Structure 1
Amino acid sequence: MVPSRRAASRGASPALVDTLRAAVAGLSLALAGVLSVLAFFSVRLARQVVTPALRVADTRILSLDTAAQTITLSRTADTGLPGRYGLFTSGTEAYLKLGSVLAEDDTSVKRKLLTEVDGRSRLSPDAAFSGWYFSRPEELHLPFSPELVGSPLGPCPAWLFPADPDAAAETDTWVIQVHGRGTTRAECLRAVPLFHSLGFSSLVVSYRNDGEAPRSRAGTYALGATEWRDVDAALGFARRRGAKRVLLMGWSMGGAIVLQVALNSAHRDLIAGIIVDSPVVDWRVVLDYQAKLMRVPHTVAGLAIGALAADWATPVVGSGAAIPFDRLDVVKRAAELRHPVLILHSDDDGFVPSDASHDLVLARPDLVELEVFEVARHTKLWNYDQERWSDRIRTWIDRRVTAPAASG
Structure 2
Amino acid sequence: MHASRRAAQNGATPALVTAFRFAITALGGALALVLTSMSLLSLRVARQVITPANRRPDTRLLDLDTQAQTVTLQRTADTVLPGRYGLFTTGTESYVKVGTVLSADDETVTRKLLTHVGSGAHLAPDAAFSGWYFSHPDELHLDWTPELIGSAVGPCPAWRFPAGDGTTWVVQVHGRGTTRSEALRAVPVFHALGITSLVVSYRNDGEAPRSRTGTYALGATEWRDVDAAIGFARRRGARRVIVMGWSMGGAIALQLALNSAHRDAIAGLVLDSPVIDWRVVLDYQAGIMNLPQPVTRLAIDALGSEWGTAFTRAGSPIPFDRLDVVARADELRHPVLILHSDDDGFVPSDASHDLLVARPDLVELEAFEVARHTKLWNYDQDRWSHAISDWMRRHDLSGATADS
TM-score where L is the length of structure 1: 0.93
Corresponding position of 1:86: 86
| Secondary structure of the corresponding residue to residue 156 of structure 1 | strand
- 1:376 pairs, out of 371, 376, 381, with 371
Corresponding position of 1:195: 190
Residues 197-236 of structure 1 correspond to what in structure 2 (within 5 A)? 197-236=192-231
Q: Quote the Cα distance in structure 1 between the aligned partners of 2:300 and 2:337.
A: 28
Corresponding position of 1:62: 62
Q: What letter matches 1:382 in structure 2?
A: W
Corresponding position of 1:5: none
2:172–2:198 CA contact under 8 A, matched in 1: yes
Corresponding position of 1:238: 233
Q: Within the alignment, does 1:273 sit opposite 2:274 as a pair? A: no
Residues 145-164 of structure 1 correspond to what in structure 2 (within 5 A)? 145-163=145-163
Corresponding position of 2:244: 249
Q: What letter matches 2:146 in structure 1?
A: P
Q: Quote the Cα distance in structure 2 between the aligned partners of 1:248 and 1:261.
A: 8
Q: What letter matches 1:217 in structure 2?
A: R
1:173–1:246 CA contact under 8 A, matched in 2: yes
Corresponding position of 2:117: 117
Q: What letter matches 2:203 in structure 1?
A: R
Q: What letter matches 1:227 in structure 2?
A: E
1:273–1:401 CA contact under 8 A, matched in 2: no
Q: What letter matches 1:107 in structure 2?
A: E
Pairwise CA distance, 1:126: 1.1
Pairwise CA distance, 1:25: 3.1
Q: Quote the Cα distance in structure 2 between the aligned partners of 1:311 and 1:401.
A: 45
> What does the per-residue CA deviation read over 1:190-217, in whole Å, with 9 as the maximum and x for residues that have no partner?
1101111111110000000001111111
Q: What letter matches 2:127 in structure 1?
A: A
- 2:290 pairs, out of 295, 298, 301, with 295
| Secondary structure of the corresponding residue to residue 395 of structure 2 | helix
Pairwise CA distance, 1:133: 0.1
2:166–2:237 CA contact under 8 A, matched in 1: no
Pairwise CA distance, 1:340: 0.3
Corresponding position of 2:33: 33
Q: Within the alignment, does 1:322 sit opposite 2:317 as a pair? A: yes
Pairwise CA distance, 1:20: 5.6
Pairwise CA distance, 1:27: 3.4
Pairwise CA distance, 1:30: 2.3
1:246–1:272 CA contact under 8 A, matched in 2: yes
- 1:388 pairs, out of 383, 387, 397, with 383
Q: Quote the Cα distance in structure 1 between the aligned partners of 2:377 and 2:396.
A: 21
> What does the per-residue CA deviation read over 1:103-159, in whole Å, with 9 as the maximum and x for residues that have no partner?
111111111111111101111111110000000111111111111101111111111
Pairwise CA distance, 1:171: 2.9
Corresponding position of 1:356: 351
Q: Quote the Cα distance in structure 2 between the aligned partners of 1:218 and 1:191.
A: 31
Comparing 173-182 and 19-28, the one that deviates more: 19-28
Structure 2: state its 5+ residue gaps: 1-5
Q: What letter matches 1:71 in structure 2?
A: V
Pairwise CA distance, 1:26: 3.0
Corresponding position of 1:347: 342
Pairwise CA distance, 1:17: 6.4
Corresponding position of 1:51: 51
2:158–2:200 CA contact under 8 A, matched in 1: yes
| Secondary structure of the corresponding residue to residue 199 of structure 1 | coil
Q: What letter matches 1:352 in structure 2?
A: V
Q: What letter matches 2:372 in structure 1?
A: R
Q: Quote the Cα distance in structure 1 between the aligned partners of 2:313 and 2:19.
A: 44
Corresponding position of 1:95: 95
Q: Quote the Cα distance in structure 1 between the aligned partners of 2:23 and 2:57.
A: 48
TM-score where L is the length of structure 2: 0.94
2:303–2:309 CA contact under 8 A, matched in 1: yes
Residues 253-264 of structure 1 correspond to what in structure 2 (within 5 A)? 253-264=248-259
Q: Within the alignment, does 1:184 sit opposite 2:179 as a pair? A: yes
Corresponding position of 1:4: none
Q: Quote the Cα distance in structure 2 between the aligned partners of 1:199 and 1:329.
A: 33
> What does the per-residue CA deviation read over 1:27-79, in whole Å, with 9 as the maximum and x for residues that have no partner?
33222112101101101110110011211111111111212211111111011
Pairwise CA distance, 1:21: 4.7
Relative to 1, partners in 2 of residues 1:391 and 1:310: Cα closer, same or farther, differing over 3 Å?
same
Q: What letter matches 1:392 in structure 2?
A: A
| Secondary structure of the corresponding residue to residue 269 of structure 1 | coil
| Secondary structure of the corresponding residue to residue 268 of structure 1 | coil
Q: Quote the Cα distance in structure 2 between the aligned partners of 1:366 and 1:195.
A: 24
1:309–1:322 CA contact under 8 A, matched in 2: yes
Corresponding position of 2:329: 334
Identity %: 69
Q: Quote the Cα distance in structure 1 between the aligned partners of 2:68 and 2:393.
A: 43
2:167–2:402 CA contact under 8 A, matched in 1: no
Q: Quote the Cα distance in structure 2 between the aligned partners of 1:94 and 1:142.
A: 24
Count of aligned pairs between the two proteins: 397
2:341–2:370 CA contact under 8 A, matched in 1: yes
1:66–1:118 CA contact under 8 A, matched in 2: yes
Q: Quote the Cα distance in structure 2 between the aligned partners of 1:75 and 1:192.
A: 30
1:314–1:321 CA contact under 8 A, matched in 2: yes
Relative to 1, partners in 2 of residues 1:76 and 1:21: Cα closer, same or farther, differing over 3 Å?
same
